[in-house]
Structure 1
Amino acid sequence: MAGKQSDYLADILGTEADPPSPAQPRTRPTTLLNRESALDRVRSGEVRQVTQLLLDPARVRVWPGNARIHARLTEENCRDLIDSLIAEGGQRVPAVVRRVEGDPDHDYEVIAGTRRHWSIVWLRAHAYPEMRFLAQVAALDDEAAFRLADIENRARRDVSDIERARNYAAALATHYGGRQKRMAERLRVSEGWLSKMLRVATIPDQVLAAFASLDDLGLKPAYGLAQALGDKAAAKRIQARARELAACRAARAAAGETPPGTAEVLRALLAVARPEPEAPPPEDLDYVSRHGRPALSVQSINRQGMTLRLHAGSGAGTDELVEALRSMLERLEARGRGLRR
């Protein structure tokens, strides 16, 4: 597995794979001449050394440019990895780190392997203090670090599309000067796909709070939601409904009940995005003044309220219009279409 990790790093960053480890010695003895030749190749830059170390995870911080939301990592969603680490006696696949300067508390930061780092920290605090963090040290600038972390995260189902979308939006400004085409080229993805991911990144936190988990909110449904939020009127309705759903989810959780699923929440949010068709008013909801001219009429009635029109030039005075309005409201109430329904 370590060899695969090295090959993967080589593919992304153009480095060579790891030299043989002590556990896998060369088949032939290495002569002094061979060693000198190898050192010359390293010094010339023809071969890059990749160093693997066993580190104290407390001296390793997490790079903020990674897509994974570190605060979402828990014993529950890392349980499979924790069990594997216990069974294997440690990591089989090294994380990728780089050295940091000017931080008295940390020597390295994790570029790829945040979940492995979290799990090792957890194990050291829960009866496995001897566990060390296996890491592969690489010299990477921020843009190369972002690409490396992105490639690893694409293959992981436990990094949601929402996390990746927000990571892309931050990287677009930080590493690519806002140029989507350049970013797509560097990541080797289509511009159309990247554009959708960046649109998904615009979904606000208060809307996402309606979902019990973001893991099942894939790119396609999330993009539809993001498009609906592009309309200001629809966005207000969606945000209001999201607040209601978030409160409902919290109440269910407090009662030990299962919260609404992702598909159910998504349907509820998209339902309010579409404006409710207005019901035509009854034909007899028009008032003609004593002068025989239209004075007041009902334009529309829906769940949000009623729209009335007062006609100019009807000749009706204030008292007459007030009485006409009262009469209309009484008729609507009698038909079950009043404002108090």
Structure 2
Amino acid sequence: MQQRLDIDQGLMMASFIREILTTLSHEPARPERGEQDALTRLDERLTSFAESRVQGAAPLLIRAADCAVWDGNPRDQPGLTAESCRSLIESIAAEGGNRIPALVRLNPPDAELPYQLLVGSRRRFAIDWLNHNGRPELRLSALIVDMPDEEAFRLADIENRERADICDLDRARSYQAAVDRFYGGVQSRMAEALSLSNSQLSRLLALAQLPAEVIDAFATRAELKVRYSELLTPLLRRPEQRADMIAEARKIGAEQQALAAQDKSMIPSAAVLARLRDAAAPRREQRGDVPIVINGEQIGRVKTGKGGLTVDLNIAGEADLDHVLGQVRAAVLAARPA
């Protein structure tokens, strides 16, 4: 009987969620705030629905451990930590539960866990963390919804699009998987469904398609931005340049690992980008050019030209000049013709 009631409530919730999806897809977005506004409106409507208890459809209180996170969710689940969710954990602990309900689907009867989490990964993590850290009585407030995967993906995208702990690369990879899984490989269909322009979606998909060596050259995945793929992707399309860039990316990746092992500051993203782009420059322009590097960061370059050598240098005011001049001298000697 309870299962039948859950299913009926799920159908009603599905209608409610479809209305939200339709409304948020067609409401005019405010400049620079459209995505965050959509997230705010989603949270407000979920809270309003839960508090109204329309036709008895009150949220269920379920164990966080009873929810398997849906594999179509773009969030990197291992990336959730007590530190990144600290404010939410404190809020839930103070209020005795999550005010904004999570959305779940019923799993098939033979599944290991009874529920599949669609929206609310951070809320589920916070409740689970509190369960294991002094608050075992807390339960996850959740609404059961019966909806197809494509609608679930759009809803999860609205919730996750502006979360600070979801990086561009994670979002891009989720879109890359979704375009085939939910939209038959047709980018224009996906762009329309997510209220994105075709160019916005293309830039994200290009990020997901960067070679693993290039991705690993950056200190963290969070440092790899969509705008970087716009600069690197055209260079990677030419075989000779691609080979040079990947070779440089492997070198940078090895340097990053060495720096991390020594607990030193890693090469910043701007320097990584500059080195990758330099590696893709035509070989005849590169001959004799030598980068000037201090603590893993490129601060200048010695260039060869018809009139001799030219030194480009950009140093901080507090830099150790003796050390800088020593590196410049070494680079000049390396750039001199044999």
> What residue number does 2:6 align with?
none
* Residue 201 (structure 1) aligned to one of 205, 208, 233: 208
Give 1:234's aligned amino acid.
Answer: Q
> What residue number does 1:54 align with?
61
Provide the rounded CA distance (Å) in 2 between the counterparts of 1:228 and 1:51. Answer: 55
Provide the rounded CA distance (Å) in 2 between the counterparts of 1:261 and 1:134. Answer: 42
Structure 2 vs 1, CA of residues 215 and 104 (structure 1 numbering), >3 Å: closer, same or farther? Answer: same
> What residue number does 2:259 align with?
252
Provide the rounded CA distance (Å) in 1 between the counterparts of 2:286 and 2:275. Answer: 22
Secondary structure of the residue that 1:215 maps to in structure 2? helix
Structure 2 vs 1, CA of residues 19 and 130 (structure 1 numbering), >3 Å: closer, same or farther? Answer: closer
Provide the rounded CA distance (Å) in 2 between the counterparts of 1:94 and 1:188. Answer: 25
More helix by share: 2
Provide the rounded CA distance (Å) in 2 between the counterparts of 1:232 and 1:267. Answer: 19
* Residue 161 (structure 2) aligned to one of 154, 162, 165: 154
> What residue number does 2:245 align with?
238
Give 1:12's aligned amino acid.
Answer: L
Query: Greater CA deviation, 136-145 or 80-89?
Result: 80-89
Question: 1:178, CA displacement in angstroms?
Answer: 1.0
Q: Deviations over 1:270-323 (max 9, x none)?
A: 221223335899xxxxxxxxxxxxxxxxxxxx9xxxxxxxxxxxxxxxxxxxxx
Preserved CA contact (<8 Å) 1:55 1:134: yes
Structure 2 vs 1, CA of residues 23 and 198 (structure 1 numbering), >3 Å: closer, same or farther? Answer: closer
TM-score by length of 2: 0.67
> What residue number does 1:176 align with?
183
Question: 1:143, CA displacement in angstroms?
Answer: 0.5
Written as runs of structure 1 = structure 2, the 5 A alignment for 1:1-341 is 10-12=19-21, 50-278=57-285, 337-338=337-338
Q: Deviations over 1:77-109 (max 9, x none)?
A: 333333333333331222221111144321111
Provide the rounded CA distance (Å) in 2 between the counterparts of 1:63 and 1:167. Answer: 12
Secondary structure of the residue that 2:60 maps to in structure 1? strand
Q: Which runs of 5+ in 1 are unaligned?
A: 1-5, 26-37, 40-48, 282-301, 303-334
Provide the rounded CA distance (Å) in 2 between the counterparts of 1:91 and 1:198. Answer: 34
Provide the rounded CA distance (Å) in 2 between the counterparts of 1:21 and 1:7. Answer: 9
Provide the rounded CA distance (Å) in 1 between the counterparts of 2:250 and 2:276. Answer: 10
Structure 2 vs 1, CA of residues 230 and 20 (structure 1 numbering), >3 Å: closer, same or farther? Answer: closer
TM-score by length of 1: 0.66
Give 2:242's aligned amino acid.
Answer: A
Structure 2 vs 1, CA of residues 220 and 279 (structure 1 numbering), >3 Å: closer, same or farther? Answer: closer
Provide the rounded CA distance (Å) in 1 between the counterparts of 2:286 and 2:68. Answer: 59
Preserved CA contact (<8 Å) 1:51 1:138: no
Question: 1:149, CA displacement in angstroms?
Answer: 0.7
Structure 2 vs 1, CA of residues 231 and 14 (structure 1 numbering), >3 Å: closer, same or farther? Answer: same
Preserved CA contact (<8 Å) 1:13 1:144: no
Q: Deviations over 1:106-164 (max 9, x none)?
A: 11111122222223222222222223222222111010011111111122222112111
Give 1:114's aligned amino acid.
Answer: S
Give 2:20's aligned amino acid.
Answer: D
Question: 1:269, CA displacement in angstroms?
Answer: 2.0
Preserved CA contact (<8 Å) 1:94 1:134: yes
Preserved CA contact (<8 Å) 1:9 1:148: no
Structure 2 vs 1, CA of residues 135 and 199 (structure 1 numbering), >3 Å: closer, same or farther? Answer: same
Provide the rounded CA distance (Å) in 2 between the counterparts of 1:51 and 1:266. Answer: 51
Secondary structure of the residue that 2:173 maps to in structure 1? helix
Secondary structure of the residue that 2:184 maps to in structure 1? coil
Secondary structure of the residue that 2:284 maps to in structure 1? coil
Provide the rounded CA distance (Å) in 1 between the counterparts of 2:230 and 2:132. Answer: 40
Question: 1:65, CA displacement in angstroms?
Answer: 0.7
Structure 2 vs 1, CA of residues 113 and 222 (structure 1 numbering), >3 Å: closer, same or farther? Answer: farther
Q: Deviations over 1:249-278 (max 9, x none)?
A: 222222222222222222222221223335
Structure 2 vs 1, CA of residues 50 and 220 (structure 1 numbering), >3 Å: closer, same or farther? Answer: farther
- The CA RMSD over aligned residues, in Å, is 3.3
Structure 2 vs 1, CA of residues 242 and 155 (structure 1 numbering), >3 Å: closer, same or farther? Answer: same
